[in-house]
């Protein structure tokens, strides 16, 4: 957020540690929501075709709040923005609990909308990690913060397993735990030390017009590939609990599969930054797209537990390379004065794409085909055209005439 003249590595390491802790603890609500929200939708929705609507609304909340939240952080600082998101998630958990208690699909969706603000804020953890970091450390800082998602994956699966049936109304205890998790946010962020950005001086550079930014090849490719990687991951992950249970397996199997998937999403983060530094972001993105294609092939080959585990592990790995690579490419393709604007636009575009994928997931899974296997196949076949688009964009970026590779001053 600030273009520091000198980079304070002790401060940077402290901020990365705080953001990693937030990713690990607060981020546990993400795999919990992705595991149970569709199942709750099956319970409450008037039609199975909209069973995944709570997840779609959750992501819509992220898409709608990403750009305003970026502007709020620009004016008031990262800490204030993260605390605001925790407050929204607390309200979201309370309303979700009310929806479960009163068996109200509308109330549950409203709670999901407010919880989506937290999801948008978590997306900014990776950018906040670079705020005080020197350029050569930024890829590693992003990776370290995202790597903490390993803990959130394990914690999220534990929460689902231990709370699913603790109350007469299923999942009431689950959302009670989510409420408590968000109350820990103010304690964690009290240790964050990112300077509040100064107000722009009169006559200070304000960056390029939005149209010019969107026409910058690296920015366009980063946004498109980041959106496709995240949207396809969400498309498949949203349907996974429905497919697993629909094919005769238990909810705990679905929780374990989603947990291992989230581990696969974040485990490579320990070395993704090094791969980006060595081979370049576009090459890492391309590997991610290829792995996502492999996930679709495994998923289409059968519906035994081994197929679900294999497909979801590959899905997580592909997301990691594709999304972190796209984030790194984006951060290197804009000027400091354009940072908040382009980050907010990027995350609004990404979560907009994820919203559409999530919204499509329930219809493909429950209403396109006669059984769970046919719906699951439809979900995975839907990946193919978007994977072709992402691969084509990367090839175009590679073959186009070379210009100055870094516009950032």
Question: What does the pLDDT read at residue 199?
Answer: 66
Whole-number Cα distances in Å, 96 to 112, 114, 180:
7, 10, 14
pLDDT band (50, 70, 90) for residue 200 = low
The answer to whether residue 168 sits within a structural domain is: yes
The answer to whether residue 201 sits within a structural domain is: no
The answer to whether residue 106 sits within a structural domain is: yes
Which residue did the predictor score with more confidence, 346 or 244? Answer: 244
Q: Which domain holds residue 186?
A: 9-194+210-399
Rounded to two decimals, what is the model's pTM? 0.74
The answer to whether residue 204 sits within a structural domain is: no
For residue 101, the domain's CATH number is 1.20.1250.20
The answer to whether residue 406 sits within a structural domain is: no
Give how many domains the chain has, as a whole number: 1
Average pLDDT, the chain: 86
Q: Using one digit for the tens of pLDDT, what is the confidence trace for 333-368?
A: 766 666 677 777 887 788 788 888 888 887 888 777
Residue 29, φ and ψ in degrees, nearest 5: -70, -20
Q: Report the pLDDT averaged over residues 250-255.
A: 85
The answer to whether residue 205 sits within a structural domain is: no
The answer to whether residue 404 sits within a structural domain is: no
The answer to whether residue 38 sits within a structural domain is: yes
């Amino acid at each position: 957020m600030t273009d520091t003249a000198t980079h304070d590595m002790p401060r940077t390491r402290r901020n990365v540690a705080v953001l990693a802790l937030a990713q690990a603890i607060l981020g546990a609500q993400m795999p919990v929501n992705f595991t149970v929200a569709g199942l709750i939708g099956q319970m409450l929705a008037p039609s199975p075709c909209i069973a995944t609507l709570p997840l779609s609304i959750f992501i819509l909340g992220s898409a709608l709040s990403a750009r305003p939240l970026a502007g709020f952080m620009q004016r008031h600082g990262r800490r204030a923005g993260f605390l605001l998101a925790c407050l929204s998630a607390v309200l979201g958990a309370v309303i979700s609990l009310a929806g479960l208690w009163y068996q109200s699909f509308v109330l549950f969706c409203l709670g999901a909308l407010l919880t989506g603000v937290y999801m948008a804020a978590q997306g900014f953890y990776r950018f906040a990690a670079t705020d005080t970091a020197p350029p050569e450390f930024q890829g590693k800082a992003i990776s370290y913060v995202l790597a903490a998602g390993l803990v959130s994956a394990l914690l999220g699966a534990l929460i689902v397993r231990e709370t699913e049936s603790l109350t007469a109304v299923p999942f009431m205890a689950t959302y009670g735990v989510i409420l408590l998790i968000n109350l820990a946010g103010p304690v964690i962020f009290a240790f964050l030390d990112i300077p509040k950005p100064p107000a722009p001086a009169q006559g200070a550079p304000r960056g390029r017009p939005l149209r010019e930014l969107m026409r910058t090849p690296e920015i366009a490719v980063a946004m498109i590939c980041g959106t496709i990687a995240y949207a396809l991951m969400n498309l498949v992950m949203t349907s996974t609990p429905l497919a697993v249970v629909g094919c005769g397996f238990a909810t705990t199997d679905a929780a374990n599969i989603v947990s291992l998937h989230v581990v696969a999403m974040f485990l490579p983060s320990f070395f993704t930054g090094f791969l980006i530094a060595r081979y370049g972001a576009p090459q890492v993105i391309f590997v991610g797209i290829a792995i996502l294609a492999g996930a679709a092939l495994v998923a289409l080959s059968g519906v035994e537990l081994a197929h679900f585990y294999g497909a979801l592990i590959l899905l997580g790995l592909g997301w990691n390379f594709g999304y972190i690579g796209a984030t790194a490419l984006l951060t290197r393709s804009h000027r400091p004065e354009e940072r908040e604007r382009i980050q907010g636009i990027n995350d609004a575009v990404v979560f907009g794409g994820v919203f559409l994928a999530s919204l499509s997931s329930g219809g493909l899974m429950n209403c396109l085909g006669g059984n769970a296997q046919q719906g699951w196949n439809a979900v995975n076949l839907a990946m193919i055209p978007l994977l072709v688009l992402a691969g084509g964009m990367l090839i175009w970026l590679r073959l186009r005439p070379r210009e100055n590779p870094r516009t950032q001053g």
